[in-house]
Chain A
């Protein structure tokens, strides 16, 4: 009976998220298609960077996603630690590989932009270094989940790492303002409005929304998988005891 109560909340998550899933899939497909079309065919080249500027249409949305996903994981981890919400840890666990993927995409596309524009694939400035640390945090978080046999303890350890690593998020965001970096300062999320022409800003925002919907769809599937995995575990333990 105790286990039944435990599943009540995840069951509601599964029901609600399943209803949401087709919308997320549809939105991400439409938005990414439109964003790619506008970004590759309609948006003009930049007056300085020429056509290489189009890299920002994948680089910046990936970067936003990796920061957004990490922040979400930190909040979910705090919720899991404090209120023992049964889905929070699983949501964070399900998000980590997606965030790590976006972080890698950010680093790779940024490197491919840096080589022709800056004249180097990589520099150890505050922005790039803190971003690499974000990638390692994701990897460390995923490794911690695997390091423990007991999912309860694994979840706790991973949640603490996620919270400790959260200090890196504002460091990434403000690194370009606090220190001299090679990386340029923020163009879109700045106090006095975006310093980017609307013909480039619109495809950028559409891509970012598409990536967000993509994350939504993928994280629903992955969290449901984690919920089933936990059910499988309880059933197996019941079998052993029986």
Chain B
């Protein structure tokens, strides 16, 4: 197992490559989902305001 993590002496290059790529992809997922939820909540609020105002 240590041999696996050692990567034939290239651990300092292999793992950061995988790490940076993974970090970027995870960040994209989080940003996408947060933006989606924020926009959906704003839209819901605005639409409920409209339906409330209409009967009056």
Contacts and interface: CB of A to CB of B under 8 A. Distances in A.
Identify the interface centre among A51, A59, A229, A236: most chain B CB within 10 Å of its CB: A51
Contacts of B10: 50-52, 116
Contacts of B25: 101, 105, 214
B22 to A, nearest CB: 8
A153 interface: no
Q: Which size bracket describes the interface of A in this complex?
A: 35 or more
B14 A221 contact: no
Given A52-B7, A214-B25, A235-B50, A112 B16 contact: yes
A239 B36 CA distance: 23
**Top 6 closest pairs, chain A to chain B, by CB:** A51-B8, A109-B17, A52-B10, A228-B39, A58-B21, A51-B7
B28 A218 contact: yes
B26 to A, nearest CB: 10
Contact of B8 (A45, A109, A115, A228): A45
Contacts, number: 90
B27 A236 contact: no
Interface residues of B, number: 29
Contacts of A228: 36, 39-40, 42-43
A166 interface: no
A52 B14 contact: yes
Nearest to B8: A51
A157 to B, nearest CB: 22
A52 B28 contact: no
A105 B8 contact: no
Contact of B35 (A225, A232, A239): A225
Secondary structure type dominating chain B contacts:
helix
Given A52-B8, A235-B50, A229 B39 contact: yes
Interface of A: 40-41, 45, 50-52, 54-55, 58-59, 62, 97-98, 101-102, 104-105, 108-109, 112-113, 115-116, 214, 218, 221-222, 224-225, 228-229, 231-232, 235-236, 239
A101 B32 contact: no
Contact of B32 (A116, A218, A232, A235): A218
A6 B10 CA distance: 55
Contacts of B35: 222, 225
B21 to A, nearest CB: 4
A186 to B, nearest CB: 20
A55 B46 contact: no
A224 B33 CA distance: 11
Contact of B14 (A55, A218, A231, A239): A55
